[in-house]
Amino acid sequence: MVALLLLVVPAGVTALFLSKQARFLVTDGAQPGGVIGGRLAAVAGSPPTLSFDGVEVELLAVAPDDVARTLARTTADAEGRFLIEAAAIDGHYELRAGGDAWQRSVQPFTLLRGHPQDGTTVHMRPAARLVLEFVKRSGLAVRGGEWQLEGEGNSGWVSAWIGARIERRGKFSGTTLEIGGLPPLNARVTVDLGGGESVEIVLNLAVGENRHTVEL
């Protein structure tokens, strides 16, 4: 059964980290709002087989004091195109997108000079995806548990991640734990399977699927 991601601790931390990298690119002011057209675009060298179909896109309002709040959510089509409604705000806007096959990306933007003629582009980088299959030598069923992943980014796919600390945690059911949307990293994964049974794994996660079988 597919892992159930209940809590991703760094989702806000990740967005804040990436937002600060691009914060100087936009000017705060009285944003007029309206329908925002945009697209997700893969960086050069991304696997051509990856699709943007169903990738979540979130629009946020960021006040002059950098406090952010969600305005709307939508999903992109297979080509990465999306439309989203923006309310009038004071400050600037921010688009956040990613998950599963794509790393989390953040794109601040402003409408003070009008709507971009070609829409707002969010540049996306392929993600690492971890799949752990748990098997008990006794033949007894694995019924899921709680997991925590922590590590440091180790790839030039997104320069801001090199050396950055990454933490995620959640729960899963069944025999298979799946964690997507990760930057390449050196990771330590701790899994508590209940009943006093736990396992700790150290992995070097590369872009694409990283599948491992764990015998208990």
CATH code of domain 11-124: 2.60.40.1120
- According to the model, what pLDDT value does residue 114 have? 82
Query: How many CA atoms within 13 Å lie on the side-chain side of 29?
Result: 10
Asked if 132 and 212 touch (Cβ cutoff 8 Å), the reply is yes
Q: Which of 148, 154, 186 lies closest to 168, judged by CA?
A: 148
- Domain ranges, ordered by start, for the chain: 11-124, 128-215
**Mean pLDDT score, 68-78:** 97
- Say whether pLDDT at 9 is over 50: no
- Over residues 114-161, the pLDDT tens digits come to 877 678 999 999 999 999 999 999 988 899 999 999 998 876 554 445
* CA–CA dist 80, 70 (Å, integer): 21
- According to the model, what pLDDT value does residue 91 have? 96
- According to the model, what pLDDT value does residue 125 have? 94
**Mean pLDDT score, 23-43:** 88
Residue of higher predicted confidence among 57 and 9:
57
Residue of higher predicted confidence among 168 and 157:
168
**Mean pLDDT score, 157-184:** 82
The CATH architecture annotation of domain 128-215 reads: Sandwich (2.60)
Q: Quick one: 91 exposed, middle or buried, by C-beta within 10 A (0-12, 13-18, 19+)? A: buried
Q: Which residues sit opposite 69 in a β-bridge? A: 61
Tokens of 214: 């764990």
- According to the model, what pLDDT value does residue 163 have? 57
* CA–CA dist 127, 87 (Å, integer): 31
Q: Where does the pLDDT of residue 194 fall: very low under 50, low under 70, confident under 90, or very high at 90 and above?
A: confident
Q: Which residues sit opposite 67 in a β-bridge? A: none
pTM, rounded to two decimals: 0.76
Q: What is the mean pLDDT of the chain?
A: 85
Place of tokens 């697209």: 39
Residue of higher predicted confidence among 182 and 5:
182
Q: Where does the pLDDT of residue 28 fall: very low under 50, low under 70, confident under 90, or very high at 90 and above?
A: very high
Backbone angles phi, psi at 141, to 5 degrees: -75, 145
Backbone angles phi, psi at 54, to 5 degrees: 85, 0
* CA–CA dist 85, 183 (Å, integer): 29
* CA–CA dist 104, 160 (Å, integer): 12
- Say whether pLDDT at 53 is over 70: yes
DSSP string computed for 131-145: EEEEE-TT-PPP--E
Tokens of 46: 């991304």
